[in-house]
Amino acid sequence: MNWILIALVAAGIAAVVRIYFSLQRLRGDRADDWDAKMVERVRAQGIDPFKPLEVDFFFALPNASACDALGALLQAEEFAVDVKPVADSSLHPFSLHASKPLRLAVPDMQEKSRRFKELATAHGGRYDGWAAGATRAR
């Protein structure tokens, strides 16, 4: 009887672990899908995504020192950076905007989004995505 109980508990734990990792993978897929949809939207507007296009990236950060640190990293990669205070946000009272002409390819933009999400988290903030061309009007 004890072996049956142990087997059921082990199966339950395995099921929970599998569900957890499936949900994590789906979250990543949604972010990747968002980048793909944005590139598709730019293409649908008749903009050539294979020519460099000014792309804007947005970050919400907790303080000026986080903005300075992240801004320095992005400027070293030739991004133009500006920071503005956000009066109505207590958790992330600063908005960092970085822009750079880039070629819009889905894998490249997915990689940038993954990397920028990690950088924002490392600086106590949040990555809010990107916009290019007419997709800027959100």
Give 39: exposed, middle or buried? Use CB within 10 Å, 0-12, 13-18, 19+: buried
DSSP state of 63: S
pLDDT tens digit string along 86-110?
A: 988 788 999 999 999 999 889 999 9
Residues with Cβ within 8 Å of residue 60, at least 6 apart in sequence: 86, 89, 91, 92, 94, 95, 96, 120, 125, 126, 128
Cα 3 to chain center, whole Å?
46
- Helices and strands: H and E segment counts in the chain: 3, 4
- Band (136; pLDDT cuts 50, 70, 90): very low
Give 43: exposed, middle or buried? Use CB within 10 Å, 0-12, 13-18, 19+: middle
Can you give the pLDDT at residue 32?
59
pTM: 0.72
What domains, with CATH codes, occur in the chain? 6-136 (3.30.70.970)
C-alpha to C-alpha distances, 29 to 17, 32, 49, 89, 114, nearest whole angstrom: 18, 5, 22, 28, 11
Q: How far apart are CA 63 and CA 138, in angstroms?
A: 25
Can you give the pLDDT at residue 48?
77
% of the chain residues with pLDDT over 90: 51
Name the one residue in this structure whose structure tokens are 């949604």. Answer: 30
Higher pLDDT, 131 or 21: 131
